[in-house]
């Protein structure tokens, strides 16, 4: 934790962040990053002189002063020279990709798929308060929301930006399967929670990170869709689940393609039936998110 109970931030953190507030120091980070890129391997070192020559600065004493401010947190000093630390490399990535630029432009676009709550095919991808959102224009439910950096919108049409979100969601999801936080790679804890809108409730897996407190919610049916047997069943019907954005899968969750039966809320247990054409596969899920294929005759049909 970086803040105490009164919300006071550790002085170390304040010092580290403020040590970046200087053009020459950022130039040092970028010079070290550039040399990594040139040698196509991370952790390439530069000598004091090489680094000094790469930065626009008048005196070596001034250069030493700025370099000193970075050593430890962002730059590591080794017997071979200087190199970026993990944090230094992250900061360099952030500067180069311009994620600090303010909000990107993005055209509202209708997207395929139906609303998880009202089942209407009225989904709109939109930019709202600097967040990407998939919103239902019929019942006003917000189905997906996420921040996005400028770099995600560059060199992409609006349709391609939307598509890139589809893949970002799956990359987050794959990490959450292993209890890894997609933001800081710390450990996440996942619980089942109920989300209600317009009189309809859906069950979500809500994952929160112990380290950075980042929270991500995903419908529990996604864990079923990513079971290898389900992936295979969809693939046999020409649907590649990882290449289909989450919102396009909502129609399977609101129709008879995937039926969910909550067997028990505490401890959590649910049964699922997936039917595509004349093939049906059944699964159960427990409170640890473990998905197990079961005989369909064993599926409980009442809630």
Residues near Zn ion (CB under 5 A) are: 115, 117-118, 136, 138-139, 141, 181, 183-184, 186, 209, 211-212, 214
In which residue are the tokens 């992409």 written? 156
- Residue number, 154 or 187, with CB nearest to Zn ion: 187
Strands 200-209 and 215-219: antiparallel
- Residue number, 113 or 285, with CB nearest to Zn ion: 113
- Residue number, 72 or 121, with CB nearest to Zn ion: 121
- Residue number, 84 or 115, with CB nearest to Zn ion: 115
Q: How far is the CB of 180 from Zn ion (least distance, A)?
A: 9
In which residue are the tokens 């004091």 written? 48
Q: How far is the CB of 50 from Zn ion (least distance, A)?
A: 35
- Residue number, 138 or 151, with CB nearest to Zn ion: 138
- Residue number, 139 or 276, with CB nearest to Zn ion: 139
- Residue number, 31 or 116, with CB nearest to Zn ion: 116
Q: How far is the CB of 187 from Zn ion (least distance, A)?
A: 8
Q: How far is the CB of 138 from Zn ion (least distance, A)?
A: 5
Q: How far is the CB of 44 from Zn ion (least distance, A)?
A: 28
d(CA 227, CA 297): 19
Q: How far is the CB of 182 from Zn ion (least distance, A)?
A: 8
- Residue number, 91 or 209, with CB nearest to Zn ion: 209
Please give the full DSSP string across the chain, using - where no structure is assigned: --B-TT-PBPHHHHHHHHTT-SHHHHHHHHHHHHHHHHTTSTT--B-HHHHHHHS--S-HHHHHHHHHHHBTTTEEEETTEEEE-HHHHHHHHHHHTTTTS-------EEESS--TTT--S-EEEEEETTEEEEEETTT--EEEEEE--HHHHTT--HHHHHHHHHHHHHHHHHHHHTTB-TTT--BEEEEEEEEEETTEEEEEEEEEETTT--EEEEETHHHHHTSHHHHHHHHHTT--GGGS-HHHHHHHHHSSSEEEEEEEETTEEEEEEEEETTEEEEEEE-TT--EEEE-GGG-----
Q: How far is the CB of 74 from Zn ion (least distance, A)?
A: 20
Q: How far is the CB of 202 from Zn ion (least distance, A)?
A: 12
Strands 188-197 and 142-147: unpaired
């Amino acid at each position: 934790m970086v803040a105490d109970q009164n919300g006071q931030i550790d002085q170390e953190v304040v010092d580290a962040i403020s040590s970046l507030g200087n053009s020459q120091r950022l130039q040092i980070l970028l010079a070290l990053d550039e040399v990594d890129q040139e040698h196509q391997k991370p952790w390439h070192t530069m000598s004091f002189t090489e680094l000094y020559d790469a930065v626009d600065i008048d005196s070596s004493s001034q250069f030493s002063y700025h370099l000193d401010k970075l050593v430890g947190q962002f730059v590591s000093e080794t017997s071979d020279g200087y190199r970026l630390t993990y944090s230094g490399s992250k900061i360099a990535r952030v500067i180069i990709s311009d994620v600090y630029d303010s909000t990107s432009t993005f055209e509202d676009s209708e997207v395929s798929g139906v609303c998880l709550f009202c089942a209407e095919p009225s989904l709109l991808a939109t930019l709202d308060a600097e967040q990407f959102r998939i919103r239902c224009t019929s019942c006003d439910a917000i189905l997906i929301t996420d921040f996005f950096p400028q770099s995600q919108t560059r060199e992409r049409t609006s349709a391609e930006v939307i598509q890139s979100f589809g893949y970002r969601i799956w990359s987050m999801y794959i990490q959450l399967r292993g209890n890894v936080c997609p933001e800081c790679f710390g450990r996440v804890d996942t619980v089942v929670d109920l989300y209600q809108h317009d009189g309809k409730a859906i069950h979500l897996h809500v994952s929160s990170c112990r380290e950075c407190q980042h929270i991500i919610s995903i419908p529990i049916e996604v864990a079923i869709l990513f079971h290898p047997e389900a992936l295979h069943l969809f693939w046999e019907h020409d649907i590649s689940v990882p290449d289909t954005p989450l919102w396009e899968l909502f129609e399977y969750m609101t129709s008879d393609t995937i039926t969910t039966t909550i067997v028990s809320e505490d401890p959590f247990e649910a049964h699922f039936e997936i039917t595509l054409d004349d093939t049906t596969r059944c699964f159960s899920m427990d409170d640890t998110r473990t998905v197990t294929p079961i005989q369909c005759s064993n599926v409980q049909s009442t809630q």
